[in-house]
Amino acid sequence: MLKHRVIPCLLLKEGGLVKTTRFSDPVYVGDPINAIRIFNDKEVDELMVLDIEASRSGREPDYGLIEQFAGECFMPLCYGGGIRTVEQAQRLFALGVEKVCIQSAGLADMSLIRRIADRFGSQSVLFSLDVKKGLLGGRAVHRRSGSRTESRPWRSVIDEAVGNGAGEIVLNAVDRDGTMKGMDTELIRQGSQGLPVPLVAVGGVGSLADIRKAVDAGASAVGVGAWFVFYGPHRAVLITYPRYDELVALLET
């Protein structure tokens, strides 16, 4: 039987690895190649690397760096950040990246997802959405880059991406990012309801039990940031990943 995937999500900023809290205060956590090598040795299910600066500063992906990442990954690698054209996606695939993750450019024009999916298949293109809780408890799309606010309801944005061929949806709970205080299971429930493609839930994991709760709420995969790079109350940097038998025991029905 297929396993639920547990995916380290690494954030890149100016070539270094950082970890944010609620999408702010990036803390430097080390050299990305070193971290990726460790995650490869730990036999992680998959790896996601997102450049949080690229779209904001209008930069293209750092192909040289990404090629080095791909050379270290004997598991699927997903890259996101600054991808605006099919040609950029093609260049990433040729370097050894399996999946590209689209956000800003997709919010501006979903046809980018369609064009990548038509050429390389839906399995190769993910759409990622950041959702934030408002003061009154409602949830709305949060935009990392660009000044335009998003007025469409978050769930219909996801459905539009799927309609355009996105093979997986990455759903980030902004308020949980970096907190390690548990995931927004209600968001995961609403996001996975009737979704025909896998949902990768991200934001808030601080324990194995949190991963199990996300899976029970409908996630096909769980993305983990802070919990895999920080250790202890003072958030010392330590790269970790659960043992395979721990994950098997955790996710058994």
Nearer to another protein, 122 or 172 (CB): 122
Q: Does 1 bind another protein (CB under 8 A)?
A: yes
Report how far Cα 110 is from the mean position of its chain's Cα atoms.
18
Q: Alpha-carbon distance 92 to 67, whole Å?
A: 8
Q: To the nearest whole angstrom, how small is the minimum distance from the Cβ of residue 28 to another protein? A: 28
Burial 128-156 (b: 16+ CB within 10 A, else e): bbbbbbeeeeebbbbbbbeeeeeeeebbe
For residue 239, give both structure tokens.
């790269």
3 near another protein, rule: CB under 8 A:
yes
Binding flag, residue 68, another protein (CB under 8 A)? no
Span 79-118, contacts to another protein by CB under 8 A: 90, 93-96, 98
Q: Which is nearer to another protein, 72 or 210 (CB)?
A: 72
Q: How many whole angstroms separate alpha carbon 100 and alpha carbon 98?
A: 7
Q: Is 197 in the site for another protein (CB under 8 A)?
A: yes
Among the candidate windows 64-72, 154-162, 206-214, 229-237, which touches another protein by CB under 8 A? Answer: 64-72
User: How many C-beta neighbours within 10 Å does residue 56 have?
Assistant: 15
- Run of H or E including 248: helix 244-251
Binds another protein (CB under 8 A): choice among 185, 220, 224, 229: 220
> By CB under 8 A, is residue 163 in contact with another protein?
no
CA–CA separation, 128 and 154 (whole Å): 11
Element (H, E) at 140: strand 139-141
Least distance to another protein, CB of residue 73, Å = 8
Q: Which of 27, 30, 33, 45 binds another protein (CB under 8 A)?
A: 45
**Residue 159 among the catalytic residues:** no
Q: Is the CB of 148 or the CB of 252 nearer to another protein?
A: 252
Q: Rounded to whole angstroms, how far apart are CA atoms 87 and 232? A: 43
The amino acid present at 158, given as its one-letter code, is: I
Q: Is residue 74 within the footprint of another protein (CB under 8 A)?
A: yes
Q: Within 198-217, which residues bind another protein (CB under 8 A)? A: 198
By CB under 8 A, residue 21 contacts another protein: no
Burial 174-209, CB ≥16 within 10 A → b, else e:
bbbbbbbebbbbebbebbbeebebbbbbbbbbbebe
Site residues (CB under 8 A) for another protein? 1-5, 40, 43, 45-46, 67, 70-71, 73-76, 90, 93-96, 98, 120-124, 167, 196-198, 220-221
